[in-house]
Chains A and B, each alone.
Chain A
Amino acid sequence: MAMRWRFYPRSVVVEISLHPTPFHPLALLAAWEDALIARTDTAPAATACFVGRVRGHDGNGEPLVALELEHYPGMTETQIEQLAQQALQHHQALAVRVAHRVGRAALGEALVLVAVAADRRGPAQRACTELLEALKHHAPFWKKEWRADGSTQWVQGNTPL
């Protein structure tokens, strides 16, 4: 059963999208799960997901008005694909869905969706956590914080877990 993912076509095993405009993470999640069900006539036994949104303050508590995400077209998608495949194989999970915002995003907008389907909660949750952390450190995205006075600052690294 652990190798059931082989029955999914590659495009369903790992689905990645970058969004220059706002996206609805739960709508993407529903569409992805529908696609998985259509292939196997049953929903995956376990699905873990994470949704990250733009917070209203920086690491020092200063208020923000927006967050801008720069990426490296081509390399970003390739890196996400490689990291997702590694997480799938490492945890013998079934399928992965990643969506990521690019461009300028307002407070509260979704920045990232990571979802992992597996046969059990353990592999689903572990693969989801591992993939999210891998994305944060190895998928080329850069965040720029915007403040109300028009000043900006590039984010150096990631927020603590």
Chain B
Amino acid sequence: MLRVRLFGELRERAGWGEQQVSHAYALTPSQLWQTIAAELGATPDLPARIRVAVNQQFSDANVALCNGDEVAFLPPISGG
């Protein structure tokens, strides 16, 4: 299983902030995004403004995911 997390505007648009997804369902964050994008009515290609984190570290969207990974999709950051 993968732990999938959304934040900010993505979390609000999707109506959820965390879900468990079968690892067989998506092998990379990009593939995972395609299912989330369909739910959001967004383009299947991951927008450049959305960053990916795997196990709470920024990551490439095409990295191979492992069972148990935590994958987060992060809208534009606006801290400070």
Contact = CB atoms under 8 A, between A and B. Distances in A.
Interface of A: 52, 69-72, 74-75, 78, 100, 111-112, 132, 135-144, 154-158
Interface of B: 5, 7-9, 11-12, 53, 56-58, 72, 74-80
Given A142-B7, A154-B9, A75 B56 contact: yes
16 contacts: A52-B80, A69-B79, A70-B11, A78-B56, A135-B79, A136-B77, A136-B78, A138-B58, A139-B77, A142-B8, A142-B76, A142-B77, A154-B9, A156-B76, A157-B76, A158-B80
Contact of A136 (B7, B58, B79): B79
Contact of B72 (A69, A75, A158): A75
Nearest to B79: A141
B72 A72 contact: yes
A120 to B, nearest CB: 25
Contacts of B77: 136-142, 157
Given A112-B80, A140-B7, A156-B78, 14 more contacts: A69-B79, A70-B11, A74-B56, A75-B72, A78-B57, A111-B80, A135-B80, A136-B79, A137-B77, A139-B77, A139-B79, A139-B80, A140-B53, A141-B78
Contacts of A71: 79
A144 B5 CA distance: 18
A119 B10 CA distance: 44
Given A70-B7, A70-B8, A154-B9, A142 B78 contact: yes
Nearest to A133: B80
A52 B57 CA distance: 26
